[in-house]
């Protein structure tokens, strides 16, 4: 059972060593995070990027990186394509974004030739341990889908539920969050939230509880929910928060990390292989935890 | 100088006692917050609502409320209209929302007859003390304007700057936050953020620094900003965060309060009188601090 974010370590160790390839790896934080995971014994890395810079950083930081672990490709776009090719050929189990814009990195995954897509929407999934909540909770989508339609939100919700089940939460409680807890036709997000709730009632998401629209406080505080007269199994006990769009998702993600003392692991869901995609400003620890989440979600 | 949220107490005491009228006052938390402010000597209350319930609560909670302080009006809409009328007639200095939907409450302020508008847009302004930030910072708009246009964001920004100056921050640093730190035509919020920055450079906001688009981490963490190569006076040191819309603003507001251990005071800016509008799920302390902010902003 996955109760604390540190449980990722033990669970990843049980899973056994996976091969991880990193596109544009020449960054102290990224190399540091990957080395911690390598030393833990859960991954074998393939660093793709500017070999000279990678070697210089490893000298400075005392990282022991073998020649065979580095593939020299200083061009950022080419490094991304090469990493995608390596996983598509089955030579790596997990793909990780290095010091590169998300858009450039994702283009390589979307490349049809590599056949990395399942037909599902790709979505960003983050799991948080907050000192102010009684259990781990997930947030999606904080980084990929700009203004998801109802169909896209349906995919985002499905991806998130799938990962939560994978982490041992068999019947996740899903809160579709918006600014308010009532349906308001002037706020499309609240209408979509209600539709997602109906889809769940019709069995579209399998065994789970979905409620929405819920304001964030109603989703994670039973006192706040009671004060508003909300009676819901999800209220105050959500396992998954679905954000209305990338602005609110990203701002919540950053708020938890930078103004909430939370610890976090994140992954891209919906591809054939787990994709580790952390923000350049995320801490080394967050990058390490995300690699562990990738290990857990790999085959 | 206003450095900690508790400084509101001393500043409000210096300001002298103000008359506060509360629409739909029959709520334990609201009555409690108003009584603390009354006992501190900074306000004289006029409670409008269901007199029987108000008296029952005051008996239960040992609040000493005089007969003359209560105006009996059990109908919620009428209570809101009456409260607006009282301030419009100059019989109160500050207006406060009680246990009533925000929309219903605001209708009474917008009523032309009461002449409470200045021509400015009304906007929600919140000030936070977070254990994870080195100073107080403001957030707008978390509760009023659903999907503000560029013009409306301009008003929101002006209102926020005005209050911050009032609180002693003469040259506020304003971060226009979005999901990313680069302009992306697919995200209108980033385009608007850039426009607001240009408006500031053209002097439209007076003496201040405005930067955007900035992701939240870049606005409040100098390390995060450096890691992304952002060079800006605002980055890592923002006094004011302007949210792209109500979804992201509200979710950030709730995140800080419920998952960030922050303390908060909030007010509606842009009317002739300060309007105290807290969420029903806000703590009694937050309501009390908001009353103090109202006192500070009153004439």
pLDDT number for residue B215: 96
- Chain A residues 197-236 with a CB less than 8 Å from chain B: 215-218, 220-221, 223-225, 227-228
How many H-runs (helices) and E-runs (strands) does chain B carry?
11, 11
Question: What is the three-class DSSP state of A275?
Answer: strand
Averaged over A10-14, what is the pLDDT? 91
- Using the Cβ of B244 and the Cβ atoms of chain A, whether some distance falls under 8 Å is answered with yes
Averaged over A47-56, what is the pLDDT? 97
pLDDT number for residue A257: 94
Question: In the predicted model, is pLDDT for residue A120 greater than 90?
Answer: no
Interacting residues of B128 by C-beta distance below 8 A, sequence separation 6+:
B5, B136, B137, B138, B139, B256, B262, B263, B264
DSSP character at residue B112: G
DSSP character at residue A75: S
Averaged over A127-133, what is the pLDDT? 97
- Chain B residues 159-178 with a CB less than 8 Å from chain A: 177-178
What's the pLDDT band for A101 if we cut at 50, 70, 90?
A: confident
pLDDT number for residue A3: 75
pLDDT number for residue A1: 54
CA–CA separation, B64 and B242 (whole Å): 40
CA–CA separation, B200 and A6 (whole Å): 45
pLDDT number for residue A166: 83
Q: Which positions in chain B touch A263 (Cβ < 8 Å)?
A: none
pLDDT number for residue B101: 86
Buried b (16+ CB within 10 A) or exposed e, A190-203: bbbbbbbbebbeee
The H-assigned helical ranges of A63-187 are 76-88, 102-110, 150-166
Low-confidence ranges of chain B (pLDDT < 50): none
Encode pLDDT of A245-279 as tens digits: 999 999 999 999 999 999 999 999 999 999 999 87
CA–CA separation, B45 and A223 (whole Å): 27
According to DSSP, the β-strands at B123-129 and B137-140 are antiparallel
Q: Which residue in B has a C-alpha nearest to residue A236's C-alpha?
A: B258
Token representation of residue B3: 């450095």
CB A217 to CB B256 under 8 A?
no
- Using the Cβ of B134 and the Cβ atoms of chain A, whether some distance falls under 8 Å is answered with no
pLDDT number for residue B119: 84
Question: What is the three-class DSSP state of A134?
Answer: coil
pLDDT number for residue A282: 80
Reported in sequence order, the residue ranges of A29-172 that DSSP labels E, i.e. its strands, are: 43-49, 70-72, 94-97, 123-129, 137-140
Averaged over A116-124, what is the pLDDT? 92
- Chain B residues 57-76 with a CB less than 8 Å from chain A: none
pLDDT number for residue A174: 98
pLDDT number for residue B168: 86
Encode pLDDT of A229-249 as tens digits: 999 999 999 999 999 999 999
Q: What's the gap in Å between the CA of A217 and the closest CA on chain B?
A: 6
Averaged over A67-73, what is the pLDDT? 95
Question: What is the three-class DSSP state of A106?
Answer: helix
pLDDT number for residue A299: 81
Quick one: CA torsion of B263, B118, B31, B9, rounded to 10 degrees?
50
CA–CA separation, B253 and B235 (whole Å): 20
CB B281 to CB A224 under 8 A?
yes
């Amino acid at each position: 059972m996955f109760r604390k974010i540190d449980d990722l370590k033990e669970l990843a160790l049980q899973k056994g060593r996976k091969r991880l390839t990193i596109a544009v790896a020449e960054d102290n934080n990224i190399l540091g995070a990957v080395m911690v995971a390598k030393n833990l014994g859960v991954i074998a890395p393939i660093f793709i990027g500017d070999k000279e810079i990678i070697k210089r950083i490893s000298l400075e930081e005392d990282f022991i990186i073998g020649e065979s672990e580095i593939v020299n490709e200083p061009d950022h776009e080419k490094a991304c394509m090469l990493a995608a090719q390596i996983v598509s050929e089955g030579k790596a189990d997990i793909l990780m974004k290095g010091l590169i814009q998300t858009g450039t990195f994702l283009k390589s995954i979307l490349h049809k030739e590599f056949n990395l897509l399942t037909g599902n929407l790709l979505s960003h999934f983050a799991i948080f341990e907050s000192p102010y909540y009684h259990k781990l909770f997930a947030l999606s989508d904080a980084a990929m889908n700009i203004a998801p339609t109802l169909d896209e939100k349906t995919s985002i919700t499905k991806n998130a539920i799938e990962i939560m089940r994978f982490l041992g939460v068999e019947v996740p409680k899903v809160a579709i969050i918006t600014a308010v807890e009532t349906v308001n036709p002037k706020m499309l997000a609240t209408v979509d939230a209600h539709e997602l709730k109906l889809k769940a009632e019709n069995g579209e998401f399998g065994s789970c509880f979905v409620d929405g629209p819920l304001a964030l406080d109603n989703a994670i505080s039973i006192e706040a929910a009671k004060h508003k007269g909300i009676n819901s199994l999800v209220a105050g006990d959500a396992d998954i928060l679905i954000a209305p769009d990338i602005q609110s998702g990203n701002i919540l993600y950053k708020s938890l990390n930078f103004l909430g003392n939370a610890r976090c692991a994140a992954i891209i869901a919906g591809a054939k292989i787990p994709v580790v995609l952390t923000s350049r400003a995320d801490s080394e620890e967050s990058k390490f935890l995300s690699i562990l989440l990738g290990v857990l979600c790999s085959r």
